[in-house]
């Protein structure tokens, strides 16, 4: 996993630590999605493909759950996501 889980040793407030935990959870789920989708691409077994895709879909739901909590707790994140969406629309002309 690319992210470290915050520990009590740091100088983070409980709220900051909780937001970092949510982000670490999102990263873990995204890594799992990539792994399962790579497994789908690797196997020729139809049953394995179905199971790996079903599990990947569950992980995507988990991302949504963690993101929903994060967005409730981090108003700056909400604003930056909006800005990012607007920038993409400008770049691609939609």
Residue 58: count other Cβ atoms within 10 Å of its Cβ.
13
Q: Taking residues 5-32, what's their average pLDDT?
A: 88
Q: Which helix (H) or strand (E) holds 88?
A: helix 75-92
Mean pLDDT for all residues in the chain: 93
Q: pTM of the predicted model, to two decimals?
A: 0.86
Q: Taking residues 3-8, what's their average pLDDT?
A: 66
Residue with tokens 């604003």: 79
Q: Taking residues 16-27, what's their average pLDDT?
A: 95
Q: Taking residues 21-49, what's their average pLDDT?
A: 97
């Amino acid at each position: 996993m690319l992210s470290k889980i915050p520990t009590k040793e740091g100088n983070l407030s409980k709220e900051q630590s909780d937001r970092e935990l949510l982000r670490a959870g999102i990263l873990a789920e995204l890594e799992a999605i990539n792994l399962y989708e790579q497994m789908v691409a690797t196997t020729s077994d139809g049953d394995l493909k179905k199971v790996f895709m079903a599990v990947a879909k569950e992980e995507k739901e988990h991302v949504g759950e963690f993101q929903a909590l994060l967005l409730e707790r981090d108003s700056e994140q909400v604003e930056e996501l909006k800005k990012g969406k607007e920038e993409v629309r400008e770049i691609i002309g939609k």
